[in-house]
Chains A and B, each alone.
Chain A
């Protein structure tokens, strides 16, 4: 049996293929848009997975280190560690800042994570895997950076007043807003986050010296003591807790809250905070774009099929004249529309997969989205062909002769 659609496609294959490519790029953008949303959710998830924690102990009444600022004493972990159900507890600090590679004029926006020093792997907060180099072994001045930051092994980074050598590289370690992470030892990070810059320290010293309450004649050493206490930093942003085998997150969380007067978030709660609170508006925005793109795609497919059908209106009239059934003509148009959709989807999927790594933010293309996307494209094409089919069926066979 001769396929009418196939013959027609063969007849004008160049036009068909190019139309398919054009449609494909549009579908590609739609898939990337869905990937951007998935990437945002995954960034949040990556943040939780990478911290390796089951519970987050934060300043009382705050949503924790990712959603809002939190500051607690750096010795509070000892109390947390002593509670039943807690296998490991480690201090951590997070802060976002511009990190500059030594010798470079440009700086990179990064989330600097202060991780507790330890000999063994698996301390909560440490990067769980590396793509190059090694983990931090010194308690000071070493860094592990995410490759998205563009840093390489051996680079020297300037973070506030200290210089750090990049000894390891990791991947997909990002903050909730997608900034690459740079891991440095906790004590350095505490200094970088809570210690003021040199100018501020000098100004504070001058102010203290001018204050008669702090600079009393007859009390030698008072001013020095005040200055020392002003530049001490003993805060962290959160304590990451890993539960002992079999311990209940909720029960341990409430035990910690009762005994430390701090707030504790479980993984489920943290996920809720990150996904529903932090990226909710962005997700809605992307959802809007996705809906608009889907409508535009449908309109374009409908328009293309319609134009293709219009181009061969005379041929359709001839077909009708020679007694071709309506069903055959409708099937031809529908098949063409679906073929166009398939080419479009293939081009879209390939272009999306290839272009995804180029985007500055993480674009996650998941198989489920591709499958949904495929059926959506097919449905849109089928629907879009309805208009063309209706028009084709209305054609008067006489047009084949009359023109």
Chain B
């Protein structure tokens, strides 16, 4: 009975030490560099990809009219404010004429003066003409010298010229008055088409230079999106493509549209292609100009080919490929890829067949002959 005690102790000691040793062995093999890499696998599917293009753009107006005076002037009054609907031909405001009326009055006085000068020149010419005729008759009767006749004829020619000058002077003054009247008319800011006032950039009393805008009018029916697409992923961009538009302020309400045109010039700085996308139906209320919109363009579906998630693709020494499992170890298989869609599926043109199994996710970067362990979800990844 005496050795029962040490035996029990030995058992107890081993009961502690054996699990400890087993645990150590497990830890040594299952953690750290010796452990197999956890991977998840997926089957290569044969599917039709429907590639799509994604880009962002801003809401812009196709037709924007910037109304302002053609000469430097002061704003007299404005009848409309931002957001007001205007009709074609409506007077929206006026610039102050400043001294235009006085200049018009001066010109009118000048015209009267020109008319008087014309009358004077006509009278002088009539007298000179009569004189020249009389002296011609006198010379025929040898009652005067030829020199006097020549003098009278010269006076007639001068009177003719003065008359012509007076006539032209009147024409000029009349034209000046018409020009000033036209200018006076231009001081009125008139809408050239139906639209909405989108900006009021000067207030009554402020002076603006020639060409500076006072009011900006946009045609609401002409709203479009100036879309920018990365050049790398813009293959297939063409007019007429259906578009799904998500305005920044209305993310949950996707709108439909289509590509109106693709701009012939790309942006060299941002390396983007530009396109114009129009709404199928104008949203109400109208989106503000300059609002950001996310646009997805749907391209026609491609023929069925083997496809893979893009997470399965890796790059090694200049080659694109996937990792496959062979005898519990990783093996790199080079593949050739084709088009891809926005869900991250990529066409496999060569290197794999449908129904092949490849590694999609891995716990760490894989190397050749690395031991792998297939799991449904990598440890530490929360569903």
Contacts and interface: CB of A to CB of B under 8 A. Distances in A.
A138 B343 CA distance: 9
Contacts of B382: 152
Given A137-B310, A367-B33, A10 B363 contact: no
Interface residues of B, number: 60
A134 B20 CA distance: 41
Contacts of B311: 129-130, 133-135, 168
A87 B211 CA distance: 52
Given A9-B13, A117-B230, A128-B314, A218 B209 contact: yes
B361 A130 contact: yes
Interface in A340-386: 343, 346-347, 349-350, 353-354, 356-357, 365-367, 370
Contact of B20 (A168, A346, A353, A356): A346
Interface in A20-44: none
Interface in A208-246: 217-218, 220, 234, 242, 244-245
Contacts of B106: none
Given A17-B13, A135-B311, A169-B381, A220 B211 contact: yes
Contacts of A347: 20
Given A10-B9, A137-B342, A171-B364, A367 B310 contact: no
Interface in A91-145: 117-122, 128-135, 137-141
Contacts of B318: 87, 242, 244-245
B229 A139 contact: yes
B326 interface: no
A297 B317 CA distance: 47
A49 interface: yes
A279 B12 CA distance: 47
Contact of B212 (A131, A220, A343): A220
A329 B317 CA distance: 62
A332 interface: no
Interface string B16-59: 11001101100110011110000000000000000000111000
A265 interface: no
A172 interface: yes
Contacts of A120: 313, 320, 337
A131 B313 contact: no
B309 interface: yes
Nearest to A122: B315
Contact of B27 (A7, A138, A218, A350): A350
B30 to A, nearest CB: 9
B283 interface: no
Q: Which of A87, A139, A244, A350 has the most CB of B within 10 A?
A: A139
B366 interface: yes
A86 B9 CA distance: 71
A132 B361 contact: yes
A20 B361 CA distance: 41
B294 interface: yes
Nearest to A169: B381
A121 B310 CA distance: 7
Interface string B365-380: 1100000000001101
A268 B269 CA distance: 33
B130 to A, nearest CB: 60
Contacts, number: 148
B344 A137 contact: yes
Contacts of A234: 269
B341 interface: yes
Contacts of A314: none
Contacts of B213: 220
B324 interface: no
A370 B366 contact: no
A140 B294 contact: yes
B6 to A, nearest CB: 6
A52 B320 CA distance: 13
A134 B230 CA distance: 20
B8 to A, nearest CB: 10
Contacts of A320: none
Contacts of B233: 117-119, 139
B138 to A, nearest CB: 69
Nearest to A123: B315
Contact of B381 (A118, A132, A354, A370): A132
Interface in A148-206: 152, 167-169, 171-172, 187
B45 to A, nearest CB: 15
Given A132-B361, A349-B27, A171 B380 contact: yes
B10 interface: yes
A131 B362 CA distance: 5
A147 B381 contact: yes
Interface string B303-332: 000000111011101101000000000000
A133 to B, nearest CB: 7
Given A10-B10, A140-B56, A147-B381, A134 B310 contact: yes
A289 interface: no
B24 A49 contact: no
A103 to B, nearest CB: 15
Interface in B276-294: 294
Q: Which of B6, B20, B363 has the most CB of A within 10 A?
A: B20
A138 B23 contact: no
B235 to A, nearest CB: 8
Nearest to B377: A132
Nearest to B10: A10
Contacts of A52: 315
Interface in A48-83: 49, 52, 75
7 contacts: A9-B13, A120-B320, A128-B365, A130-B360, A135-B344, A172-B364, A234-B269
Across the A-B interface, the 9 shortest Cβ-Cβ residue pairs: A122-B315, A134-B344, A121-B313, A138-B54, A139-B230, A131-B378, A130-B311, A346-B24, A353-B27
Given A121-B315, A140-B55, 6 more contacts: A129-B311, A131-B378, A132-B361, A132-B381, A147-B381, A171-B380
